[in-house]
Amino acid sequence: MFAGIDLGSRNVKVALMDEKERLSLHKFDTVAFYRQHGRLEDGQLVVDLAGLGLGAIELKSLVSTGYGRQTINLKDAKNIPEIKAHVTGAVYLTGLKDFTLLDLGGQDSKVVKISKGRMMDFETNDRCAASTGRYLENMAAVLDIDMEELSRHYEDPVDLTSTCAIFGETELIGKVVEGYSTAQLAAGVNYTIFKRVKPMLIKLASPTIVFTGGVAQNRALLEIIRQELDVEVIVPENPQYVGSIGCAVTALKEV
């Protein structure tokens, strides 16, 4: 078995792949994962894979990526850069060689231009998480709706400035007071994400966008990108696992 682990800010994603490239995917809460399954040994994180409840695994190779690797190295794992993991996963899952990857994760926004299967250029969000999953969760909580409901609306959006993920909440509450409908407010929130990533998508434009990360489950955002940029938007199955799948593919190929 070959394993890929994506140590994300909100979730740790594990992708297991056998020789026949059959995948099994698993997700853990990041903080719980570190607390329950990890221990430090000589400054490296050792994960008790057996304890994860994934069944009996005979592990041949392990590749990891994600924010965690900047602070802690996973023992016995080969670490690969996050953007590389996502690109590898997206190329593997879609079979495409020329596209723009949009990955919106827990706190990260990434846009990568891929040409002939190679990464040509990339952009990431700067010092704010106002185009990420965490932002959407906060805004949904303000509106007292779930993520599912939030991701239904893209028509007639209220105008939000979205300069900051936290000030955005105050602004949104202001709009609630002004009497806008939940549908309009939710659409406005989804539009702020688009406005944030739009310059990056235009700078690294392609006719096809592969949209990954947890936020890719937001169907409204997908619709907004499709309409506003007049592009084809492809969301692979299980979009939040693309980084971990990229790691598993790397583990398989490099052994």
Partner 1 sequence: MEKIGLTTTIPVEVIYAAGMVPVDLNNVFINHHNPQGLVEEAELAGYPRNICSWIKGMYSTVMQNDDIGTVIAVTQGDCSNTHALMETLLLAGVRVIPFAFPFDRDYDLLKLQIEKLMEALGVSWQQVKDAQKRLNKVRQRVWELDRLTWQQNKISGWDNHLYQVSCSDFNGDPELFGQQLDEYLAKVPDMPEIETQIRIGYMGVPPIMDDLYHYLEERGARVVYNETQRQFTMPFNTDDLVEQYRLYSYPYGIFYRLEDVQQQIKLRRLDGIIHYAQSFCYRQIEDMIVRQRLDVPILTLEGDKPNKLDARTRMRLDAFIEMLR
Q: Which two tokens stand for residue 138?
A: 């906060």
Check residue 126 for interaction with partner 1 (CB under 8 A): yes
Check residue 128 for interaction with partner 1 (CB under 8 A): no
Q: Which two tokens stand for residue 167?
A: 């000030």
Residue type, 173: I
Q: Which two tokens stand for residue 22?
A: 């059959």
CB of 169: closest distance to partner 1 in angstroms? Answer: 21
Check residue 115 for interaction with partner 1 (CB under 8 A): no
Selected binder of partner 1 within 26, 75, 78, 84 (CB under 8 A)? 84
**67 SS3 class:** coil
Handedness of CA 19, 20, 21, 22 (dihedral sign): negative
212 within 8 A of 235, measured Cβ to Cβ: yes
Selected binder of partner 1 within 71, 116, 178, 230 (CB under 8 A)? 71
Closer of 81 and 174 to partner 1 (Cβ) = 81
Stretch that binds partner 1, among 42-50, 124-132, 166-174, 183-191 (CB under 8 A): 124-132
Check residue 116 for interaction with partner 1 (CB under 8 A): no
Selected binder of partner 1 within 21, 76, 121, 148 (CB under 8 A)? 121
Could you give the CA distance from residue 103 to residue 193 in angstroms, rounded to a whole number? 12
Selected binder of partner 1 within 21, 29, 31, 70 (CB under 8 A)? 70
CA nearest neighbour of 126 among 197, 226, 192: 197
Could you give the CA distance from residue 165 to residue 70 in angstroms, rounded to a whole number? 24
Closer of 126 and 178 to partner 1 (Cβ) = 126
Angle between helices 182-203 and 167-177 (to 10 degrees): 140
118 within 8 A of 84, measured Cβ to Cβ: no
Neighbours of 4 (CB within 10 A): 32
Neighbours of 50 (CB within 10 A): 12
Closer of 14 and 111 to partner 1 (Cβ) = 111
Check residue 180 for interaction with partner 1 (CB under 8 A): no
CB of 183: closest distance to partner 1 in angstroms? Answer: 35
x/- binding map, residues 20-59, to partner 1, per CB under 8 A? ----------------------------------------
Selected binder of partner 1 within 62, 74, 83, 145 (CB under 8 A)? 83
Backbone phi and psi for residue 120, each to the nearest 5 degrees, phi listed first: -105, -35
CB of 19: closest distance to partner 1 in angstroms? Answer: 26
**79 SS3 class:** strand
Binding site for partner 1 (CB under 8 A): 67, 70-71, 80-84, 118-122, 124, 126-127
